[in-house]
Each structure stands twice: as structure tokens, then as C-alpha cells.
Structure 1
């Protein structure tokens, strides 16, 4: 594999990145990387093995001790150099996101802007790992509490926002003095994994501090999650798989840092500005064809505004350009693969069969599903009670604030949400009542700011990303005491 950028599908991605070296697939099996819009194979990557995971963790453990001793300026400079590399190759990375993950231009730019912000935040972490001096109850004793890196961090990232959702764990972990083993999703091994290796390699990261093993989740993913080496296991994905990852990590007393599924509500009260609420509803439901854990899964609309909201939302949905994600005008691109597409369409069909009305959409062209609006929905219907993860907007009527809160909380998830009302006291009252890690008033749930804690409650995850919270996840405290005067013992 060439050591030089540019970054294109033809750059030769058929290698693992272990201990600072690109290891060709050799005798390993390979995985084809397909463009979700054309279904053409754009690259192949190695199907890594458990032995590769062992080698990656061994390299990480060996490199970490030296990396942790580097001064904060050195660690910050590597992250800043990686950030500079991203800026230099911005358009190439956007093209890779479009070709590998089906990202439209607007989604790709949003993803890279968010990743950029997280990298900027991470570059400050080496200077924020302050300890403290505590008085002692023992005469003549000095107590020092240091904040130190945990050691090795395992990262398993998803396919929907592959670059950002890998980088938000990798950059802070490296900045804090840890080494990383990254396993990207098999649908997006380039933008979720190998691309990060190239960027940090170009930035001058020492060998072994970042290792990338591509492969199938059932093989490599289990090996990464269940390995005895990592002290933190960062995972983003479905609740079902996340629960398995948490059990594997906990079996080795590693901390599971999980962002899992969501069933996020967009509450439109009787006091809402309907046009503003629809604007948020369109963006929150249809960015990246709804393939986001924090996208709107249910629209809860007060009965007094219900018919008008449904009609306007359907009109807006019909107007969204759909098709080739490389066309800058496209808003609705492809679903990642056939299995995801079929599941989404099945939820729509089951919901209509249960009595809902298909206002618009419901069909598909290849992997491009039409933006779909369903009315007459209740909380028990398939498109509402499941995380549908597609360009589907089920609209549910409600009659009181109390009912809206009850409907919002009637789910195992608690990730994000939004409330629209010109009466901010009402909006805050509803927001306070919703059991979720994040809620946005007069906006929509798709928000992620690098300096604000990000995460969910209930079965939407454990821990938080961003801000001070991710730094606390990736570091630990160490108490060192110094007995400066002879101590008297009872025996």
C-alpha cells in the first residue's frame, strides 16, 4: 500500500494497519466494499482474524507506555497535524463517504464538520488532565491524585457516520495518552477505519499507537470486545449488539462506553410554530435517509395541529431530491444495504396493515427509499415502536402534555428528542419529563456539539462522549501518597 495520499477508492486499501505497518491481505480472505447506490465493488479489504486482533492489541500495549510519557505538546501536535491533514483532503474524504456509505453532500459536510470539532476539542485534552492535591487525615502525609490514561482502548464503530463516530473515540483516546485498536464496520472499513490510519500516519503518530483491523463483526468484533487487553471498549451501534459487547467487556473488567439505539420523538405542541416545527421535522427525519441513532423516529403532534402538520410534512417530503449521493442536489441517498432496506419497508408495510395511512412514499428504487410519511399511527405500530433507521416519518396525535410525555417515554430507548412550543415554560416542562439523555427545544434531535456531553439513558447506552465526559471515560485517577514524617502505628 502506498504511503502517500491522495485518498481514493483506488488507493489500495487491501491491508491491515498494525504497529505502524500496512499488512497486505496475503492469505486472508477479503471483503468487498460496495457502493450502496450502484452496488459496484469499489475496493476490497482483509477479513482480519482473531490472531490479527491479538497482534494489534500487543502492538498497542507496547506502544502505549512510551506514548503516555510524551509531553502534552507532543500529543496535541499529532492531533492538530491529523486535523490539518483532514482539511487538506476534505473533498477526497467527502467523495469516499459518498461512494462507501452513500452520504449526500449535506450529510458528508455535516459529518466532517462534527469530526473536525471533536478533533479540535481532543487537541486540548493533553493540557486538561490535571490532578489535585488533597490534605490527609494522617499527620505528615501528602496526597496527590493524578489523572492518567487508562492504557489501551478498543473501538468498534458503525457504518452510518463512520468517520465521525470512529474519530470521536480515537482522537480523544490518543490525545489522552492511550493506544487504540479500531475495528470499523464491515460496510465502511475505509472511512471508518483505514482512512483514520492514513491520516494519523501522515500526522506522524508513533508506530503501534493506532491499529486498525478490518473484518466481519462475528469474527473480529467479538475478538476486539472480549480481549483481555483494553481497559475501555467504545462501541456505537444497536442496543442488541451493544448489550453483548458490554458483557464481553465487563467480563474483563473493561469499561463499556456505549452509544446505542434510539427511538427519538419530535413533540409538536399546540403552541408550536408549525412551519418551524416542520422544518425541524424534515431535517431530523430525512438527513442521511434517517440512518442516525439521533434522527426522529416518531413525530408526536397535538391533535389541534395534526392534519395541517401531516399535510405540510408530506408535501415537503415529496419535494426532496432522491438518488445519486454524488449529485450535490441529492438529499435522499441510498440505504446502506438490502437487509436494512427490506427491514425498513417491512416496518412500513406492517404499519399500514395495522391501520395507518401512507401519505407519501413507501416505494424504492434500488436502495433509495422514497421519503415516507405515515399518519394515523400509534405507539404500538411497527414503524413507531421499532427504531426503523430509515427515511420514514410516523406521525402520532396526542391531546395533552401529559399524554405526550407518556408516549415519548413508552420505549426502551432514551437517546435524544425535541419539543416545539412558543411557550418556553411548556416546552421546558415537557423536555424535563422526557426520559432521554438529550432534548432540544424548538429544534430537532440531530445535534452533536464537541464541547457538550453526548449520550443516552435507559437502553440507549452507557457513559458520554465529548467535552470533559469523554476525557473522564478515557482516563483514570491514581492516588499517590507520600509520608514525609515518621508515622505512628498502633502496633
Structure 2
């Protein structure tokens, strides 16, 4: 069955700047292929630095007027955007499948997550209130107000392209900012162009949302270091994030960055093994493991290790692999050959180091079999690296102290999960795991638009969601009012 884009997204093939679909100053284009069968879906402009400049210029020109409109008007644009998302749900799920290999369950879940971000953002114009502060001078009132930061540059990922772009874009514009989006070259439609199209259909004023497609090697540096950017929001690998952060910091531009993870799933000996396996299967294999907060390492107490490995293997072998457009499919394709080859290398190196492949380990095209590895140590390739695929290395431990030590033996600190029949014990272990988010008797793939989301160590800077993103996308202003004449010393 040929892979085609629905009408809504097949029309998104230009840059979107200042409310207009426009060609790039460059004549080069980027071919967008589908991981389903490798065929070309479409092509988009390979934008250049001049395009980035034009987008930032349009965003800056529109920002003041956008910030000055009423909260009701900004909320109404977001409400209409949400309506357009609902109206085009089937087209968006189909495009997520075609462009990123998202199975139906994941695509539908991604849209639900995005709706949560939009609903949260739509309330922000009415919830942003100033505060008052104490005065050390007689007859003075102190007010602390929050103003829009200005222009927010958003550099989007390919794995959850729609929802993770909306996570930044929706609250940014709700708070009176304008945005420039640089989508992933792997998924330029769902991480940028279709978002612009939906905002256009929702009646967003020109310049509020701008999108420049292009290769990171061509325009990434300009996007991150642009002097017009007041905040840079980035989701992606730690390696790229380091460069983005350095370039933004040279302009003194604040950043919100979610980077890589090597997330542990700690199963203590008093855990419900079946529950832990259920959570482990979902947390490892959703979207083929191509999730920053997916499970990278299963840490299991030695007394239940064999049972856990057996049950995890049995469950893994039941997962349907195939075309993500088939509603029954659980495991779709890896995003590209480079990622697939790296994953196969991790499995091979781990097996060579003494681990056992319980199931999986091979690939047909971009379809990598979900894989369970037993007898793994934390220094083996599939455990010490952030593998971004359907691989479950299972590592034994003998005590809570050893589990915590293994969990923390990584440069990352994004997310984790802990399973135990003793809630207080699980909480004690959770507090000692060096991660920004820990989930007890669950797995790490959780998101709530009102709860801060982010990591520690090499897993990011700052947080998204909730009050954290409000503070990131606004600047405080102190306004004092002297209500009675003040006496000065001279």
C-alpha cells in the first residue's frame, strides 16, 4: 500500500513567515521519506540563514501588538487551534504514521497529549497575575508583574514531533510571545509546517507563528544564536543540546532544554513482578523506544531476576511488528538507517561482552525486533549508552544500595521508575535516584501540562510545563509606587 500524505499536510511544502507560505531564498530542498517503506513523501525547502532572519524579523514585528491584545483574544486563538486539531485528527494521525513511523496508538496518544498542552495554555492569559511585595521604604507599594519574554525560538524533535512542539509553542503565544519554529528535518511537517497550517486556519495574526524548515547543519547555529531570540526552547539529544546551549548563552539567551536520558526501571524484590513487567513493556516499547523518557535499563533484584526476564521475554514476543498504519501494530519502524544501525551495534557489542539475547536482536529493513538482553552489566553498550530503540537490557542487583548506585551511574538524570510493595521503601529509593522525575509502581512515560517536566545532570536545563514554563517565557518587572513624598538624605 503506497504511503501518501492527506490533503491537509500535503499542502505544507513551503516556509511559513509573517502569515504567508513562501519559498526559501535557497533553491535547495530536503526530501522527506517515510520509514514505513523508504519512499519519498514530499520535499520541503532547505532554508538558509536569510530565511531564519526573515522569520525572526516577522516575529519581532508582530510581538508587541500580539502582547497588547486582550487575554480573551489570545485564548480564543488557542481554542480555535484546538478545534482545528480535533477537526483534522485523522489526517494528523496518518501523517505521524507516514512521517515518523508512529503506530496508531502512539499517534492518537500524542494528539491527546497535545490537547492537554493547548488547554493548559488557553487558560494562561487569564491566570497570569502580578503580585505585591514587602516595602522597606515608608509609603511605598511594590508590584511584581510578568511580561512576555518576546520572541521564542523553538527547535523541535522528530520522535513526538507534534506534541513536543506544541508544548513550547502554545504557552509561549498564550503568554504574549511570538515564535519561530525550526522543525526536525526528519519530520518537518508534524513538527512545524502542519502546526503553522492549523494556526493559519485558526486565524492567528501574521507573524505570531513562523516556521523555517532546513538542515540543522545549515541553519541550526543561526536559529540558536539569533540576537532577536529572547528564549530558546530545544528538545533533542544532549550532544546537539550542548551546542545549542553554548550558542544561545553567548547571546545571554535563556533556554529551556530537554535532552537525553538513560532511564532506569528499578524492581525491588518485594515488587509485584507482573505489574513491573507490564510497566516495563509499555515503558520500553512505546514508539519503538524512541522516547526521551522511555526505559533504557531494567534493574531487577537477583531473587526475582529469572522470573522477570522470563515474563518480560514472553510479553515482548507477543508484540505485533509491522506497518504503523495497521491499528493492531505495536512496533513500527525505526526513524532511519543510521539510528537502526547504531541500535544493532549496541546489541551486538553487548552480546559480545557476555550478555544473552533472550529474544529479538535482528532487523528487517527499518523494523527492529523488540529485544530483551539478560546478564547485562551497566558498562555494556546497550546499558551505558542512551539507546533510542526497542531494547530492554536487564541488569541484576543485590541490595537497594546497589540498585541506587547502578541507577545513578550515568551522566543522565531525566526520569526513572521504582517498583515495590512497600510504598515508604519505594519513596526512599526514589529520593536517592538522581533524576528530575521518578514514578513509583509505574514507568516514566508520563506528562502533565501543569507539572514541571525536566531532568538533571546532562539531561537538560530548566523545565517545561506548569509554573516553570510560565517563568521561562515571561520576565518579571518590579514597579514601585511612592504614595507619599519620600524624605531623602540630601
* Structure 1 residue matching 2:425: 3-state secondary structure: helix
Contact 2:35/2:336 (8 A) holds in 1: yes
Higher deviation after alignment, 166-175 or 312-321: 312-321
* Structure 1 residue matching 2:321: 3-state secondary structure: coil
* Deviation of the 1:483 alpha carbon: 2.7
Measured against aligned partners, the alpha-carbon deviations of 1:67-117 in whole angstroms (never above 9, x if no partner) come to: 000111111111111011101111110000000000001111111111110
Superposed counterparts of 1:63-462, under 5 Å: 63-462=62-461
* Deviation of the 1:352 alpha carbon: 0.4
Change in 2 beyond 3 A, CA 1:306/1:73: same
* Deviation of the 1:490 alpha carbon: 2.3
Contact 1:60/1:209 (8 A) holds in 2: yes
* Structure 2 residue matching 1:188: 3-state secondary structure: coil
CA distance in 1, matches of 2:384, 2:259: 16
* Deviation of the 1:13 alpha carbon: 2.4
- Across the aligned residues of Structure 1 and Structure 2, the Cα RMSD in angstroms comes to 1.2
Q: How many residues are paired up?
A: 486
Partner of 1:473: 472
* Deviation of the 1:294 alpha carbon: 0.2
Q: For structure 2, list consecutive stretches of 5 or more residues without a partner in the other structure.
A: none
CA distance in 2, matches of 1:488, 1:433: 54
* Deviation of the 1:143 alpha carbon: 1.9
Partner of 1:18: 17
Measured against aligned partners, the alpha-carbon deviations of 1:302-340 in whole angstroms (never above 9, x if no partner) come to: 001101111111111111100110111110000000000
Contact 1:33/1:43 (8 A) holds in 2: yes
TM-score computed with the length of structure 1 as normaliser: 0.97
Contact 1:358/1:373 (8 A) holds in 2: yes
* Deviation of the 1:25 alpha carbon: 4.4
Change in 2 beyond 3 A, CA 1:128/1:24: same
CA distance in 2, matches of 1:255, 1:31: 30
CA distance in 2, matches of 1:196, 1:14: 13
CA distance in 1, matches of 2:414, 2:389: 17
Partner of 1:3: none
CA distance in 2, matches of 1:93, 1:288: 16
CA distance in 2, matches of 1:427, 1:139: 52
CA distance in 2, matches of 1:403, 1:361: 28
CA distance in 1, matches of 2:104, 2:293: 19
Measured against aligned partners, the alpha-carbon deviations of 1:127-177 in whole angstroms (never above 9, x if no partner) come to: 121111234222333222111110000000110000011000000000000
* Deviation of the 1:402 alpha carbon: 0.6
CA distance in 1, matches of 2:458, 2:401: 23
CA distance in 2, matches of 1:449, 1:423: 25
Change in 2 beyond 3 A, CA 1:10/1:110: closer
CA distance in 1, matches of 2:151, 2:240: 22
Contact 1:415/1:436 (8 A) holds in 2: yes
CA distance in 2, matches of 1:288, 1:460: 20
Higher deviation after alignment, 323-332 or 462-471: 462-471
* Deviation of the 1:26 alpha carbon: 6.9
Change in 2 beyond 3 A, CA 1:71/1:7: farther
* Deviation of the 1:484 alpha carbon: 3.4
